A = this chain, B = another copy of it.
Amino acid sequence: MTQIARTPKQIGEIVRRRRQTLKQTQVQMGKQVRLRQATISKLETGEPGTRLSTLFDVLTALDLELVIRSRSKSSSHDIEENF
């Protein structure tokens, strides 16, 4: 599982999909990392002002990690090596 995000909105979508895959509600997730349901909601809807710390908290709860790489990873976009 590997997804590129170029905007806060895309991050939100990724987070939401993942959360749903894990069959959690925003409330449950919020509890795990001490964030309000409302905060999760805003992140998922793509608020550009969301704080980095908030994102990391959420990624933790979802067992996801953030990777930075050069853009010229010439886009096997969705395919993505799965190992």
Main secondary structure on chain A at its contact with chain B?
Answer: mixed
The contact of A1 among B6, B14, B47, B70, by CB within 8 Å, is B70
The answer to whether B56 and A7 have CB atoms under 8 Å apart is yes
CB pair A2 B56 closer than 8 Å:
no
Nearest CB in chain B to that of A2: its residue? B69
Contact with B along A1-23 (1 / 0, CB 8 A): 11111111001001100000000
Q: How far is the CB of A7 from chain B (nearest CB, A)?
A: 6
- Which residues of chain A in 42-72 are interfacial with respect to chain B, using CB atoms and an 8 Å cutoff? 47-53, 55-56, 59, 63-72
A residues 16-47 in Cβ contact with B at 8 Å: 47
Chain B contacts of A7 at CB under 8 A? 56
